[in-house]
């Protein structure tokens, strides 16, 4: 029987068995390739001086190990994207004693990138040189010289992303450097050094100081300057809001133990909280050059940062 049905080739194929007068299906044009064991895929050569090469050779096998940069704290080296976004132009938390650095990776200048310092020097004489721990399957010790060159080349070459695009110059959002709390003139201790602040039983009011950093604005020139307090780690929908005042700065140790200047102050009446209540704090400030208000710690910040901004009422 001759097939004379007009229309698409697809429709003709569907009725081909009826047209030929046989029950056999039409041949599959892909059958010759189905079990072809000889087909190969060319290996893509990864540039070791790119963020892709750095992640494949260094960050994933050496730095994203358990309890380190595996999402437990920043930089986050679990993926190429998270590594790039938490490194390039990202404000630092820990600085050297002279305060010479502002970002983890300064595109085009390894010498002004704190990651380069951390890989070559003990930043404060007690933090060690990165990486602190090397897993058995890492080849960092064997290839350290080459890997350091690759990192420097990537930074000095503009710290381009995985697509080869240079990062946009931008004004960074404010970041925190520390929080210190006082009761009756005495600095309150923390659990395990950088855990929650311990508020002694019978305390009526605590005086809270916050140290902030911005790449283009002095801390005392930041706007908005609000603080919120809630008894939930993540739910601030009904939080108590108070204004922070800007004061002549005091100097106390910051988040990583280095002395920093604290300009922002707010008092909190804690007499109404029951014993063993945890109170969580967030601050809200605005860089005059940016449109948005910055929340510190943000809703998406790591739990340990939210713990640092909290108080246990004893």
What pLDDT was estimated at residue 28?
52
Tell me the pLDDT of the chain averaged across its residues: 85
Does the pTM surpass 0.85? The reply is: no
- Tokens encoding 290: 């940016």
* Residue 9 included in any domain: no
Q: Characterize the bridge pairing of strands 310-313 and 294-296.
A: unpaired
* Residue 218 included in any domain: yes
Helix (H) or strand (E) holding 82: helix 80-85
Helix (H) or strand (E) holding 207: strand 205-213
Using 50, 70 and 90 to split pLDDT, how confident is the model at 47?
very high
Asked if residue 92 and residue 199 are part of one domain, the reply reads no
| Contact of 265 with 289, CB cutoff 8 Å | no
What pLDDT was estimated at residue 70?
62
Residues whose CB is less than 8 angstroms from the CB of residue 91 and which lie 6 or more positions away in sequence, other chains included:
102, 103, 104, 172, 173, 175, 213, 215
Asked if residue 269 and residue 240 are part of one domain, the reply reads yes
Residues 206-236 pLDDT 10s:
999 999 988 889 999 999 999 999 999 999 9
Domain that includes residue 234, residue range: 175-313
Asked if residue 183 and residue 151 are part of one domain, the reply reads no
Asked if residue 301 and residue 181 are part of one domain, the reply reads yes
Asked if residue 185 and residue 151 are part of one domain, the reply reads no
pLDDT for residue 38 is more than 50: no
Asked if residue 179 and residue 110 are part of one domain, the reply reads no
pLDDT for residue 33 is more than 70: no
Report the C-alpha gap between 105 and 49 in whole angstroms.
15
Asked if residue 258 and residue 129 are part of one domain, the reply reads no
| Contact of 98 with 260, CB cutoff 8 Å | no
Calculate mean pLDDT across residues 32-52. Answer: 62
* Residue 7 included in any domain: no
* Residue 33 included in any domain: no
Helix (H) or strand (E) holding 187: strand 186-187
Q: Please name every residue paired with 206 in a beta bridge, in sequence order, or none if there are none.
A: 268
Asked if residue 301 and residue 183 are part of one domain, the reply reads yes
* Residue 82 included in any domain: yes
Asked if residue 217 and residue 291 are part of one domain, the reply reads yes
Report the C-alpha gap between 174 and 281 in whole angstroms.
16
Domain count, the chain: 2
Helix (H) or strand (E) holding 155: helix 140-156
Residues 250-280 pLDDT 10s:
999 988 777 899 999 999 999 999 999 999 9
Distance of CA 304 to the CA centre of its chain: 13
What pLDDT was estimated at residue 36?
42
* Residue 242 included in any domain: yes
Asked if residue 201 and residue 144 are part of one domain, the reply reads no
Helix (H) or strand (E) holding 312: strand 310-313
* Residue 248 included in any domain: yes
- Tokens encoding 119: 């890989």
pLDDT for residue 30 is more than 70: no
């Amino acid at each position: 029987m001759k097939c004379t049905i007009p229309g698409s080739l697809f429709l003709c194929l569907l009725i081909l068995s009826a047209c030929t007068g046989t029950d056999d299906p039409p041949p599959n044009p892909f059958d010759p390739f189905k079990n072809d064991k000889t087909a190969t895929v060319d290996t893509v050569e990864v540039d070791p001086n790119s963020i892709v090469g750095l992640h494949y050779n260094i960050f994933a096998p050496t730095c994203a190990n358990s309890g380190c940069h595996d999402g437990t704290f920043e930089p986050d080296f679990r993926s190429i994207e998270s590594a790039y976004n938490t490194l390039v132009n990202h404000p630092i938390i820990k600085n050297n004693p002279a305060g010479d650095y502002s970002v983890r990776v300064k595109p085009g200048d390894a010498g002004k990138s704190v990651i380069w310092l951390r890989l070559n020097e003990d930043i404060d004489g007690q933090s060690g040189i990165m990486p602190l721990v090397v897993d058995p399957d890492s080849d960092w010790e064997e290839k350290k010289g080459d890997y350091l060159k690759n990192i420097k080349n990537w930074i000095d070459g503009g710290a381009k992303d995985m697509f080869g695009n240079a990062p946009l110059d931008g004004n960074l959002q404010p970041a925190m450097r520390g929080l210190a709390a006082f009761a009756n003139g005495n600095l309150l201790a923390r659990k395990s050094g950088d855990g929650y602040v311990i508020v002694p039983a019978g305390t009526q009011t605590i005086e809270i100081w916050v140290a902030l950093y911005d790449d283009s604005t002095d801390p005392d020139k930041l706007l908005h300057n609000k603080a919120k307090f809630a008894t939930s780690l993540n739910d601030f929908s009904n939080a108590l809001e108070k204004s922070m005042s800007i004061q002549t700065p005091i100097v106390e140790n910051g988040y990583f133990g280095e002395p920093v200047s604290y300009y922002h102050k707010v008092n909190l009446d804690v007499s109404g909280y029951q014993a063993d209540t945890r109170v969580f704090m967030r601050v809200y400030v605005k860089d005059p050059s940016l449109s948005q208000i910055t929340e510190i710690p943000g809703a998406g910040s790591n739990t340990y940062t939210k713990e640092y901004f909290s108080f246990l009422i004893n």
